[in-house]
Amino acid sequence: MAMSKDDMAMVAMEIVAYSGDARTKYLQAMDAIAEKDFAKAEALIKEGDDLILGAHNQQTELIRKEAAGESIEIGFLTVHAQDHLMTAMLLSDMCKKFIKMFKNQ
């Protein structure tokens, strides 16, 4: 059975929302890193990572459904959601690297 277009849009918007909230936490963490407040930065990164998990769970559910033979229609909104998720995940990685770099200075 195929997911309805409305269901697919809802999943995509959830991914965008989780990813956008995570991105905000990561950008706040970057500000904390610049101020050398590493405890605050690490707490913000943890909050962002928890949000990313929500987005990742939505993405994994789509993968699971497709692997089970369900028809998944990939539209522009889904691609947009994937872009948000991947850029937020990259920002998480960058924050973690920056903490390592700046702590050693």
Catalytically active residues, by annotation: 80
Identity at 85, one-letter amino acid code = L
Token duo for residue 75: 């539209």
DSSP designation for 69? T
Tokens 């913000």: give the residue. 44
The structure tokens listed for 29 are: 């963490």
Tokens matching residue 53: 């998990």
| Residue 89 · residue 54 · CB < 8 Å | no
